Structure 1
Amino acid sequence: MVKPWYKQFWPWFLIILPLTVVVWTIITVIVFSQNSVSLVTEDYYKKGKGINIDISKQNVAKNLGLSASAFSDGNAVVIQFEKGQLEHYPAITVMFAHRTLPDRDFSQLLTSDAKGQYRLTLEEELQGPWFIELTPHDQKWLVQGRVTFPSTTPVQLEN
């Protein structure tokens, strides 16, 4: 006697293969839709024009002899600033941008101590690669660079 089709091995084996692909495709679509990466900017033209402005601000910083380096000290980020031709250490806005996680970006207005060190104390220690921009309140110059935290030795920010 021949068994009915639903009691045989091969029909179920042939049904399971495409069904597995469909299930994993649905799972993949759900995971990727909930964890999107926003690496592409929508206003790329304005962003490109802004790069030219940033270069001129960097040139102003070079002409003034400004430079900076950054390192971490536990939960604190210390920025050592060389004021070059400036009369005093200005209050600066420090912008921290994460390479791949834009929701973690933040800015802070900092003032220096007598040695030209700016200290930012955070709730938790910074981890991973960060892009740092230093600008004064009038935004006439710009010093920027990349630092991978934690870093106990000062990393020079490029002009």
Structure 2
Amino acid sequence: MNENTSSPSLPWYRHRWPWLLMAGPAIVVVAGFVTLVLALRSNDGLVSDDYYKQGLGINQTTARDQAAARLGLQAQVMLGGHELRVMLRAGQAGTTLPETLSLRLMHPTRSGEDQVLTLQRQAGDLYSGRLERPLSGRWRLSIEDDGRMWRLTGDWLVDKAPVLVLPK
């Protein structure tokens, strides 16, 4: 007696093993396309086209920092909604304060978020200007006069301290 007890064979797509084996490479292909889309849509803000010139100019920027120290300049930066106020004081007698200041707010990783403000003198040593967008998080701050003779810089964690004193 020869009895054939084998069950009917199912087609390959009805088994789970081929699908499990194909899932890994399929996930990698999808992740590759997602990475490609993110790379094409995002801005490489940290890459500069003129990095060599910026490297050569580092001596000029340190000279501006030293000029601010010689004048004894101190700034207190205050945030109130969409308005930014700066109180600038000179420690050296006879130093005249400019009518306008240039203030750069630079995001550490997203250059598209950077803002440049022109602060107008209100009264005495108080300057103010309006922000394009509200601030939150960490920012690199640079305050300089219009003649670019001196500069005050610092890092500002806006959420923890709404007031920044420069230099620290």
1:130 is aligned, of 133, 139, 143, to: 139
Is 1:144 the equivalent of 2:153? Answer: yes
- DSSP-derived class of the 2:165 partner: strand
Could you say which structure has the larger radius of gyration?
2
- DSSP-derived class of the 2:52 partner: helix
- DSSP-derived class of the 1:59 partner: helix
1:101 is aligned, of 96, 110, 126, to: 110
Task: Tell me if structure 1 keeps the 8 A contact 2:76–2:164.
Answer: yes
- DSSP-derived class of the 2:139 partner: strand
Specify the alignment match of 2:96 in structure 1.
88
Greater Cα offset, 50-59 or 90-99? 90-99
Return the TM-score normalized by structure 2. 0.80
Distance change in 2, residues 1:27/1:107 (3 Å): closer
Distance change in 2, residues 1:15/1:111 (3 Å): closer
Residue type at the aligned position of 2:151: L
Task: Tell me if structure 2 keeps the 8 A contact 1:92–1:109.
Answer: yes
After superposition, where does 1:55-70 map in structure 2 within 5 Å? Answer: 55-70=62-77
In the alignment, the residues of structure 1 paired with residue 10 and residue 105 of structure 2 have an alpha-carbon distance, to the nearest angstrom, of: 69
Does 1 or 2 have the higher relative contact order (CA < 8 Å, sep 6+)? 1
Distance change in 2, residues 1:71/1:20 (3 Å): same
Shift of 1:79: 1.0
In the alignment, the residues of structure 1 paired with residue 12 and residue 133 of structure 2 have an alpha-carbon distance, to the nearest angstrom, of: 62
Residue identity (%): 28
Instruction: Give the superposed CA RMSD.
Output: 2.3
Structure 2 unaligned spans of 5+: 1-7
- Poorly superposed stretches of 4+, deviation over 4 Å: 150-153
Q: Say how many residue pairs are matched.
A: 159
Shift of 1:68: 0.9
Task: Tell me if structure 2 keeps the 8 A contact 1:71–1:150.
Answer: no
Is 1:30 the equivalent of 2:37? Answer: yes
Shift of 1:129: 1.6
Residue type at the aligned position of 1:102: S
Is 1:121 the equivalent of 2:130? Answer: yes
Is 1:10 the equivalent of 2:17? Answer: yes
Structure 1 unaligned spans of 5+: none
Return the TM-score normalized by structure 1. 0.84
Specify the alignment match of 1:155 in structure 2.
164
Task: Tell me if structure 2 keeps the 8 A contact 1:37–1:100.
Answer: no
